[in-house]
C-alpha cells in the first residue's frame, strides 16, 4: 500500500500498518513522495499480480489523475483499490470536489460507503471486484467516515500469498493508441458487466421505517435517494422526527456505473424524489426522470458546504411542508446560542514557521508572497502569505509573477514559501523550471523535518520509513543545488535577525546581474516533534500605565537627521553625508554646491586631506570605509565648472585677510559669499600658501589649485601678492582701512637641529627644497641625501629628491608608530624606494672643504612617556656611527613668525582674528579650511551682530550615529573601489600626479551603495511600507505621521536602516497590538488594552522578545 498524507485520508496507511503489526501480515507500506507516485507504485504491484491499494485525499487524486485515466484502460491483475477521501465543508482542503465524478470521467467503478463499517466491507468487495474484472476500483469515503469511530466487526484476515509474476503483454501494458481503442472497448464491456452486478448489489437497497421496502399499491409522495454519510444522518433524523414510516429511502452505494435498474422502479413509485449526497450531484445527474427530482440542481439542497444534521433537517422540513408530509407547526428545535467569535486557526506557540514568516515580512513588507499547502498556509495571519493554490504552486506562481512583471520592465520582490514535504511533492520540477527559464525570486523552504499538518508523517529527508524501518534520507540542499541553484543558505529561523538578514541577502542575489532564484532553507524541527524546548525562555510583558496625551507627544516618531561620524570628524566642517547623498542621487550640481557652502577646495581637499572622515566612517567597522576623499575629488574635478550659487548682495564692508594660504583663502571666500569686500595680502608671488609652495605637484598638481583659486577670485576677492605685512604695509594701517582683519600667515620659520655643521654647504631646509620645486627653480642636488625628520615635509622632500635622481634615506629619532607623517604617504615613499632609519638622531655634520661629507648619528632607545603623551627617546651611549652623504635636508618642522605683530597673539586688538597655523591646532589643510570658515563667521557676527548664518542643507541634531544604529542587513559587504595610481616606475621619473581619480559613475555608485547615510533619511520608504497601521504618508518634504493612526508601536524607528527616526523606547507595553497583529502567537493575548502572556499555552520559546519594538516583552529571569 502506498499513500501521500492529506486530511482526511492520512490515517489509512498507519491503520494498515497497525493491522500488519497486530496480525503479523506481510504488507508493504510506503509514504510516497506524492499521490501520482503512490498510485503508480501500487499499480505496478497489481500489474505483478499482487493486491494493492493507494490512498489519498480528493485533491491528491487530481495529482494522480494521469495514471488513473490510463490505468482504467490497461486494467490490472491483482485487485487494485484507489481510496480517495472527500472533504465536504470543506474542513481542510482547497476544494469540495466530488471524487465520484471520476466514475464518469475516468470510467472507474465507484463504491460510496455510508459508515466506517460499510467502508470496511466495501474495501473487501472492491478488491474482489477489481480482481475479477481486472479493473481499478475507486472507494470514496468522506471526512465524516474517515474521522469517525464506530464499533466494527472484523472478520479474520484473509492471507493472499502471491509471488510477483509480471506477465508480458505489450498490447495491454504498453498499448499504442491503436490498441488503446481495443482496451477502451474491453473497458466498456467490463463496465456493462459491473453495472449488471451493481444492480443486484447489497450496497444498493431501499428501506422504510428501518425495514426493507416492500412493493405497495399506494405510491409515496416523497422518496429520498441518498448516498454516503448523509444516508446515516437521514436515518437518525427521520426516526427522531417520527416520519421514517412515511418516506422511503433508496441508498445507492455504487454510484458509477449507475445502477439504473435499481433506481427506475423506486423513482416510479414516488411522486417526488429528493436526492441527498455529498459533496456534489453525481447520483442526481445520472437520474433520467428529471422533473420529479429535487436536489442540488434545483437549489433544494445547498450547492456548497457539508450536509450536517441541521442542514438536512432544514431541507426535510422545507420539502416535507411543501408536500404536506410535515405539519407547519413543527418549528426548529433551538439550542442555547452563545455568541462566541470563531477561533481562527493559528500556527502553534513556538512554531518555527512563525519566526520565519515574521522575519520574511520584516525583511520585505511590500513583497508578493506566494505560499503553498501545509500548516504554513497560516502565515497569512502574519501578512506573509498572499497566494495559495495547490501543492507546489508557490514556486510556479513566483516564476509566473516574475515573468509577468519583467515583461513590463518592473521588478517586485517576490518571496515564496513552501514546506519541506510539499517541496518534495511538487516543488522540484517547479524549481528546475524556474532556474531554466531564468526567473528571479526568493524561495524559502520551510523545513520542519516532518509533514506537520497531517500528523507528523516522515518526509523523504528522513532516514526512517513509516514502519520505522531504515529509509534513505534525501538531502533537500543537495536537491536544491541539483536544480541549478547557486544561492543557497540554510538557517535556523529562531535567529530572527539573522533570518531577516539572509532574506535580504537572498533578494539581493535575485537583483544581481548574474543572479537568479535564491533559496533559503529555514530549518527548525516542528514544535510538535520536540516536546521539550532546548532553551526555555520565560517571557513577561512589562506593563505600565497608558501614556498621557503629553507623553504621547514625546513618544511619537520624529524624522530627525542625526550627526554621522564623518561630519563630526571633519575639521573643515563639511556635511559629508549631505554631499554624498546628492552624489548618490546623481545630482552632481547639488553635491558641489553642498561642499562649496563650506569651503572652496573640493578638488584640493579630495587630494591632500588626511581624511579623518574615513577613519571615523561607520562602514569601516563593517568592511572598508567609504572612499570619501576620492568622492570629494571626483565631485570637485567633475563639477568644478559648475557656477556658484548666487552670493548674497554685496554689503560694501571691507575686510582684510593677511596670508593667502588655505585658511586665509577659505576665510576670504566665505566672507565674499556673505557679501563682504575682501582683500587678501600675500607675501609670496602667488597665493595658495602651503598648497602652492609646500605640497609637491605629484600630490597636488598646480593647475588643480589654480582652478579653485580662480573660483575664489570670481567672487570679486581682491588679491595683492608680494605684500608682506609688517614690511610693505603695517598691521595698524590695515586696521585703519578695514573693518576687520583675518590673520593667517602660517608657520614658515624653519626649526633648526642645533648641532655642529648645520650651516655647511649641502645642508638644506625641507621647505626651501619644496618651494624651489614648486616654483620650478633648478636645484643642484644629487647623490646620497639624508632627510632628518618624521613629518609630512620629510616624506614629501624625500620623495621629491628621489624623483630628482637622489638616493634618499630618512632618519627619524622615534619609531614607525610615532611618525607624524600620514601612514599612507610613508607607505608610498617606501614603495618608491625611499629608505627610512628609525631610532637614529644626528649628532653632528662632518665637513670637507666647507661642504658636508658625512653625518654622525647616534642610535636611540625608547624611554619613558613624555609630557606630550609621546614616548621619549634617549641616545644609546657609544652607538655613534657615521654615514657618508652628499647632502642633508632638515625637515623637523616650522613655527609661525610673529615678528610683525609687536605683541603676543592673545594681546591682539578687537577686530583682528586669527586662523590656520597660528591657532593651536593640527597643521593640516582641513584644519586650516575649518578655521578659515569659522573666522569668516566670527567676523560676520562681529561686524553685523547676531545675524543668520548661511543655511546648510540638513539641520542635524548633535546625537552621533554609531554602527549599532545601522541595520547592516541592508548593506552587503563590499569593498571600496580601488583607487588607481600610476606605476611606481613612472612615479619615480617625475612629478606627475601619482594618485588618480575615480570616475563620476564609480563615485556615484560608491555613494549610493556603500554609504550608510548614517542618521539621514534617504526616503527609502522602508518605514512607510513597514508601518502596520499605514500611518506614514509620503509628502513633498519627506514623510508625515498621521498621529490619529499611529499606535506608537515604534516599528518605524526600529526598522529604519540608518537610524534617522528618533523615538524613545518605552520598555513597557503601550498597548499598540503590534505583537498580536504581526506575530500572532496564540500565547500572546490582549487583556484590557495591554498584551499579556498566556502562561497556560506559552511554551517559552522566547521568540516574542525580539518582536516588540518598544522593548516591552522581556525575558523573565526570576
Angle at 555 between CA 551 and CA 556, to 5 degrees: 120
Indicate whether 22 belongs to the interface with other proteins (CB under 8 A). Answer: no
Report the residue from 23, 66, 236, 615 that binds other proteins according to the rule CB under 8 A: 236
Per-residue string for binding with other proteins, 690-729, x by CB under 8 A? ----------------------------------------
Euclidean distance between CA atoms 1073 and 1090, whole angstroms? 8
Q: 429 to 458, contacts with other proteins by CB under 8 A?
A: 452-453
Residue 1083 Cβ vs other proteins, minimum distance, rounded to whole Å: 8
Euclidean distance between CA atoms 882 and 857, whole angstroms? 6
Residue 450 Cβ vs other proteins, minimum distance, rounded to whole Å: 11
Residue whose entry in the numeric block shows the C-alpha cell 539641520: 955
Look at residues 1092, 996, 293 and name the one whose alpha carbon lies nearest to residue 698: 996
Q: Are 818 and 871 in contact (CB under 8 A)?
A: yes
Residue 371 Cβ vs other proteins, minimum distance, rounded to whole Å: 14
Query: Which residue lies nearer to other proteins by CB, 1051 or 1078?
Result: 1078
Residue 343 Cβ vs other proteins, minimum distance, rounded to whole Å: 5
Query: Which residue lies nearer to other proteins by CB, 334 or 955?
Result: 334
Residue 5 Cβ vs other proteins, minimum distance, rounded to whole Å: 14
Look at residues 583, 581, 577, 582 and name the one whose alpha carbon lies nearest to residue 562: 577
Question: Could you give the C-alpha distances from 95 to 309, 765, 1079, in angstroms and in order?
Answer: 22, 93, 29
Look at residues 763, 739, 677, 669 and name the one whose alpha carbon lies nearest to residue 711: 669
Binding range to other proteins, per CB under 8 A, among 303-311, 363-371, 761-769, 959-967 = 303-311
Query: Which residue lies nearer to other proteins by CB, 148 or 490?
Result: 148
Q: 384 to 403, contacts with other proteins by CB under 8 A?
A: none
Asked if residue 184 has a cis previous peptide bond (ω within 30° of 0), the answer is: no
Residue 339 Cβ vs other proteins, minimum distance, rounded to whole Å: 9
Look at residues 893, 916, 894 and name the one whose alpha carbon lies nearest to residue 905: 916
Report the residue from 22, 161, 337, 864 that binds other proteins according to the rule CB under 8 A: 337
Q: Based on C-alpha coordinates, what's the Rg of the chain?
A: 45
Binding range to other proteins, per CB under 8 A, among 346-354, 488-496, 765-773, 1016-1024 = 346-354
Q: Concatenated DSSP letters for 25-87?
A: -----EE-SSHHHHHHHHHHHHHTT--EEEEEEHHHHHHTHHHHHHHHHH--SS-EEEEEEB-
Q: Concatenated DSSP letters for 903-929?
A: S-GGGPPTTEEE-GGGSSS---HHHHH
The DSSP element (H or E) to which 232 belongs, if any, is: helix 229-241
Report the residue from 235, 702, 1005, 1077 that binds other proteins according to the rule CB under 8 A: 235
Residue 87 Cβ vs other proteins, minimum distance, rounded to whole Å: 11
Indicate whether 343 belongs to the interface with other proteins (CB under 8 A). Answer: yes
Phi, psi of 400 (to 5 degrees): -65, -40
Phi, psi of 833 (to 5 degrees): 115, 5
Binding range to other proteins, per CB under 8 A, among 27-35, 235-243, 440-448, 696-704 = 235-243
- Beta pairing partners, 858: 841
Query: Which residue lies nearer to other proteins by CB, 260 or 386?
Result: 386
Query: Which residue lies nearer to other proteins by CB, 148 or 830?
Result: 148
Report the residue from 20, 120, 124, 147 that binds other proteins according to the rule CB under 8 A: 147
Grid cell listed for 40: 503508480
Per-residue string for binding with other proteins, 108-127, x by CB under 8 A? ------xx------------
Q: Are 1084 and 1092 in contact (CB under 8 A)?
A: yes
Indicate whether 313 belongs to the interface with other proteins (CB under 8 A). Answer: yes
Q: 69 to 98, contacts with other proteins by CB under 8 A?
A: 91-92
Euclidean distance between CA atoms 619 and 1007, whole angstroms? 12
Per-residue string for binding with other proteins, 526-555, x by CB under 8 A? -xx---------------------------
Binding range to other proteins, per CB under 8 A, among 173-181, 330-338, 436-444, 807-815 = 330-338
Q: 1068 to 1087, contacts with other proteins by CB under 8 A?
A: 1082
Question: Could you give the C-alpha distances from 295 to 224, 275, 796, in angstroms and in order?
Answer: 10, 5, 101
Euclidean distance between CA atoms 969 and 217, whole angstroms? 85
Report the residue from 349, 563, 809, 841 that binds other proteins according to the rule CB under 8 A: 349
Binding range to other proteins, per CB under 8 A, among 144-152, 494-502, 811-819, 914-922 = 144-152
724 burial level (CB within 10 Å; 0-12, 13-18, 19+): middle
Indicate whether 340 belongs to the interface with other proteins (CB under 8 A). Answer: yes
Indicate whether 21 belongs to the interface with other proteins (CB under 8 A). Answer: no
* Strands 840-848 and 871-875, sheet pairing: unpaired
Binding range to other proteins, per CB under 8 A, among 148-156, 461-469, 546-554, 944-952 = 148-156
Quote the DSSP letter at residue 650: P
| Count of residues that bind other proteins according to CB under 8 A | 46
- 144: helix, coil or strand? helix
Report the residue from 76, 135, 229, 616 that binds other proteins according to the rule CB under 8 A: 229
Look at residues 719, 575, 564 and name the one whose alpha carbon lies nearest to residue 657: 719
Residue whose entry in the numeric block shows the C-alpha cell 442526481: 284
Residue 242 Cβ vs other proteins, minimum distance, rounded to whole Å: 14
Binding range to other proteins, per CB under 8 A, among 76-84, 231-239, 534-542, 690-698 = 231-239
Euclidean distance between CA atoms 596 and 174, whole angstroms? 84
Residue 383 has a CB neighbour count (10 Å cut-off) of 17
Query: Which residue lies nearer to other proteins by CB, 46 or 349?
Result: 349
Residue 169 has a CB neighbour count (10 Å cut-off) of 12
Max Cα–Cα distance, the chain, nearest Å: 154
Report the residue from 70, 300, 346, 587 that binds other proteins according to the rule CB under 8 A: 346
Look at residues 448, 465, 250, 462 and name the one whose alpha carbon lies nearest to residue 353: 448
Per-residue string for binding with other proteins, 362-381, x by CB under 8 A? -------------x-xx---
Residue 460 Cβ vs other proteins, minimum distance, rounded to whole Å: 22
Report the residue from 12, 348, 443, 781 that binds other proteins according to the rule CB under 8 A: 348
Quote the DSSP letter at residue 1093: E
Residue whose entry in the numeric block shows the C-alpha cell 422504510: 208
Query: Which residue lies nearer to other proteins by CB, 529 or 949?
Result: 529
Query: Which residue lies nearer to other proteins by CB, 354 or 440?
Result: 354
Query: Which residue lies nearer to other proteins by CB, 375 or 393?
Result: 375
Question: Could you give the C-alpha distances from 71 to 77, 552, 673, 797, in angstroms and in order?
Answer: 11, 70, 91, 93
Binding range to other proteins, per CB under 8 A, among 77-85, 232-240, 654-662, 794-802 = 232-240
Q: Is the dihedral of CA 158, 163, 164, 165 positive or negative?
A: negative
Report the residue from 34, 58, 233, 1018 that binds other proteins according to the rule CB under 8 A: 233
Report the residue from 9, 52, 187, 237 that binds other proteins according to the rule CB under 8 A: 237
Binding range to other proteins, per CB under 8 A, among 307-315, 725-733, 753-761, 911-919 = 307-315
Binding range to other proteins, per CB under 8 A, among 328-336, 409-417, 894-902, 1057-1065 = 328-336
Binding range to other proteins, per CB under 8 A, among 73-81, 224-232, 257-265, 599-607 = 224-232
Residues that bind other proteins (CB under 8 A): 91-92, 114-115, 144, 147-151, 229, 231-237, 240, 308-310, 313, 333-338, 340, 343, 345-349, 375, 377-378, 452-453, 527-528, 1082, 1096-1097
Amino acid at each position: 500500500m502506498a499513500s501521500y498524507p492529506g486530511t482526511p485520508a492520512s490515517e489509512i496507511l498507519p491503520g494498515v500498518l497497525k493491522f500488519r503489526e497486530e496480525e503479523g501480515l506481510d504488507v508493504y507500506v510506503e509514504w510516497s513522495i506524492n499521490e501520482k507516485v503512490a498510485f503508480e507504485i501500487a499499480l505496478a504491484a497489481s500489474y505483478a499480480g499482487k493486491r494493492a491499494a493507494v490512498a489519498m485525499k480528493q485533491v491528491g487524486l487530481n495529482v494522480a489523475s494521469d495514471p488513473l485515466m490510463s490505468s482504467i484502460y490497461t486494467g490490472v491483475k491483482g485487485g487494485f483499490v484507489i481510496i480517495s477521501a472527500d472533504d465536504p465543508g470543506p474542513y481542510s482542503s482547497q476544494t469540495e470536489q466530488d471524487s465520484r465524478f471520476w466514475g464518469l470521467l475516468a470510467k472507474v467503478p465507484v463504491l460510496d460507503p455510508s459508515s466506517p463499517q460499510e467502508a470496511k466491507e466495501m474495501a473487501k468487495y472492491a478488491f474482489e471486484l477489481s480482481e475479477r474484472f481486472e479493473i481499478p476500483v475507486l472507494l470514496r469515503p468522506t471526512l465524516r467516515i474517515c474521522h469517525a469511530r464506530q464499533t466494527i466487526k472484523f472478520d479474520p484476515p484473509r492471507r493472499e500469498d502471491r509471488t510477483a509474476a509480471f506477465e508480458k503483454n505489450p498490447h495491454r501494458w504498453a498499448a499504442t493508441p491503436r490498441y488503446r481503442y481495443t482496451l477502451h472497448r474491453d473497458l466498456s464491456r467490463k463496465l456493462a458487466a459491473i453495472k449488471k452486478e451493481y444492480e443486484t448489489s447489497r450496497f444498493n437497497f431501499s428501506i422504510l421505517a428501518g425495514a426493507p421496502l416492500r412493493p405497495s399499491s399506494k405510491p409515496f409522495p416523497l422518496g429520498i435517494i441518498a448516498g454516503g454519510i448523509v444516508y446515516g444522518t437521514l436515518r437518525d433524523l427521520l426516526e427522531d422526527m417520527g416520519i421514517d414510516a412515511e418516506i422511503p429511502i433508496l441508498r445507492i452505494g455504487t454510484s458509477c456505473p449507475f445502477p439504473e435498474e435499481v433506481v427506475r422502479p423506486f423513482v416510479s413509485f414516488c411522486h417526488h424524489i429528493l436526492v441527498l449526497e455529498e459533496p456534489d450531484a453525481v447520483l442526481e445527474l445520472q437520474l433520467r426522470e428529471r422533473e420529479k427530482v429535487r436536489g442540488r440542481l434545483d437549489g433544494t439542497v445547498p450547492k456548497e458546504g457539508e450536509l450536517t444534521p441541521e442542514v438536512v433537517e432544514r431541507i426535510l422540513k422545507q420539502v416535507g411542508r411543501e408536500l404536506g408530509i410535515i405539519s407547519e407547526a413543527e418549528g426548529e428545535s433551538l439550542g442555547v446560542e452563545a455568541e462566541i467569535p470563531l477561533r481562527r486557526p493559528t500556527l502553534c506557540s513556538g512554531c518555527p514557521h512563525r519566526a520565519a514568516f515574521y522575519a520574511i515580512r520584516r525583511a520585505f513588507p511590500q513583497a508578493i508572497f506566494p505560499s503553498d499547502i501545509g500548516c504554513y498556509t497560516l502565515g497569512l495571519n502574519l501578512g506573509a502569505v498572499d497566494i495559495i493554490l495547490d501543492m507546489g504552486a508557490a514556486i510556479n506562481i513566483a516564476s509566473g509573477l516574475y515573468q509577468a512583471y519583467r515583461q513590463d520592465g518592473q521588478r517586485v520582490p517576490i518571496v515564496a514559501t513552501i514546506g519541506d514535504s510539499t517541496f518534495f511533492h511538487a516543488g522540484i520540477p517547479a524549481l528546475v523550471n524556474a532556474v531554466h527559464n531564468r526567473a528571479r525570486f526568493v524561495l524559502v523552504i520551510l523545513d520542519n523535518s516532518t509533514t506537520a499538518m497531517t500528523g507528523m508523517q516522515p518526509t523523504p529527508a528522513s532516514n526512517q520509513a513509516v514502519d520505522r524501518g531504515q529509509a534513505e534520507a534525501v538531502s533537500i540542499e543537495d536537491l536544491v543545488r541539483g536544480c541549478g541553484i547557486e544561492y543557497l543558505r540554510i538557517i535556523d529561523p529562531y535567529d530572527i535577525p539573522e533570518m531577516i538578514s539572509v532574506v535580504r541577502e537572498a533578494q539581493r542575489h535575485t537583483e544581481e546581474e548574474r543572479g537568479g532564484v535564491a533559496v533559503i532553507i529555514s530549518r527548525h524541527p516542528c514544535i510538535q516533534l520536540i516536546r521539550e524546548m532546548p532553551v526555555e525562555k520565560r517571557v513577561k510583558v512589562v506593563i505600565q500605565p497608558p501614556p498621557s496625551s503629553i507623553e504621547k507627544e514625546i513618544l511619537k516618531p520624529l524624522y530627525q537627521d542625526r550627526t554621522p561620524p564623518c561630519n563630526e570628524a571633519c575639521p573643515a566642517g563639511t556635511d559629508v553625508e549631505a554631499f554624498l547623498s546628492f552624489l548618490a542621487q546623481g545630482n552632481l550640481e547639488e553635491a558641489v554646491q553642498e561642499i562649496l557652502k563650506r569651503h572652496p577646495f573640493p578638488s584640493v581637499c579630495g587630494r591632500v586631506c588626511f581624511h579623518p572622515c574615513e577613519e571615523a566612517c561607520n562602514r569601516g567597522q563593517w568592511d572598508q570605509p567609504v572612499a570619501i576623499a576620492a568622492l570629494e575629488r571626483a565631485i570637485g574635478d567633475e563639477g568644478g565648472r559648475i557656477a556658484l550659487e548666487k552670493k548674497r548682495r554685496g554689503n560694501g564692508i571691507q575686510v582684510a585677510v593677511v596670508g593667502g594660504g588655505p585658511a586665509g583663502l577659505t576665510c576670504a571666500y566665505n566672507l565674499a559669499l556673505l557679501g563682504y569686500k575682501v582683500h587678501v595680502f600675500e607675501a609670496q608671488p602667488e597665493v595658495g600658501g602651503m598648497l602652492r609652495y609646500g605640497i609637491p605637484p605629484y600630490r597636488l598638481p598646480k593647475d588643480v589649485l589654480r582652478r579653485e583659486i580662480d573660483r575664489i577670485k570670481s567672487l570679486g576677492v581682491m588679491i595683492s601678492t608680494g605684500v608682506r605685512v609688517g614690511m610693505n604695509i603695517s598691521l595698524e594701517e590695515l586696521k585703519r582701512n578695514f573693518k576687520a582683519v583675518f590673520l593667517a600667515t602660517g608657520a614658515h620659520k624653519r626649526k633648526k637641529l642645533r648641532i655642529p655643521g648645520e650651516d655647511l654647504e649641502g645642508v638644506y631646509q625641507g621647505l626651501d627644497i619644496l618651494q624651489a620645486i614648486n616654483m620650478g627653480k633648478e636645484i643642484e642636488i644629487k647623490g646620497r641625501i639624508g632627510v632628518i625628520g618624521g613629518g609630512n615635509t620629510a616624506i614629501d622632500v624625500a620623495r621629491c629628491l628621489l624623483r630628482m635622481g637622489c638616493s634618499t634615506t630618512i632618519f627619524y629619532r622615534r619609531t614607525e608608530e610615532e611618525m607624524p607623517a600620514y601612514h599612507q604617504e610613508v607607505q608610498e615613499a617606501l614603495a618608491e624606494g625611499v629608505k627610512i632609519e628609525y631610532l637614529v638622531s644626528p649628532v653632528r655634520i662632518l665637513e670637507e672643504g666647507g661642504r658636508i661629507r658625512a653625518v654622525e648619528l647616534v642610535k636611540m632607545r625608547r624611554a619613558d612617556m613624555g609630557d606630550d603623551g609621546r614616548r621619549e627617546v634617549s641616545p644609546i651611549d657609544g652607538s655613534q656611527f657615521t654615514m657618508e652623504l652628499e647632502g642633508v635636508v632638515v625637515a623637523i618642522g616650522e613655527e609661525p613668525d610673529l615678528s610683525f605683530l609687536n605683541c603676543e597673539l592673545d594681546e591682539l586688538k578687537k577686530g583682528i582674528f586669527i586662523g590656520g597655523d597660528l591657532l593651536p591646532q593640527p597643521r593640516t589643510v582641513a584644519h586650516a579650511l575649518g578655521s578659515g570658515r569659522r573666522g569668516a563667521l566670527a567676523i560676520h557676527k562681529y561686524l553685523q551682530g547676531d545675524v543668520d548664518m548661511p543655511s546648510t542643507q540638513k539641520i542635524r541634531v548633535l546625537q552621533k550615529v554609531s554602527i549599532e544604529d545601522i541595520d547592516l542587513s541592508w548593506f552587503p559587504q563590499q569593498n571600496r573601489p580601488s583607487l588607481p595610481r600610476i606605476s611606481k616606475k613612472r612615479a619615480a621619473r617625475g612629478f606627475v600626479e601619482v594618485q588618480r581619480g575615480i570616475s563620476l559613475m564609480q563615485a556615484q555608485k560608491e555613494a549610493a551603495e556603500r554609504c550608510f547615510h548614517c542618521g539621514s533619511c534617504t526616503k527609502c520608504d522602508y518605514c512607510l511600507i513597514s508601518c502596520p497601521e499605514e500611518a506614514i504618508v509620503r509628502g513633498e518634504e519627506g514623510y508625515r505621521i498621521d498621529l490619529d493612526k499611529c499606535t506608537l508601536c515604534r516599528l518605524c524607528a526600529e526598522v529604519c536602516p540608518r537610524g534617522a527616526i528618533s523615538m524613545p523606547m518605552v520598555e513597557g507595553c503601550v498597548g499598540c497590538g503590534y505583537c498580536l497583529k504581526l506575530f500572532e502567537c496564540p500565547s500572546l493575548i490582549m487583556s484590557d488594552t495591554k498584551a499579556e502572556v498566556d502562561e497556560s499555552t506559552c511554551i517559552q520559546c522566547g521568540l516574542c522578545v525580539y518582536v516588540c519594538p518598544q522593548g516591552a516583552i522581556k525575558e523573565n529571569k526570576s
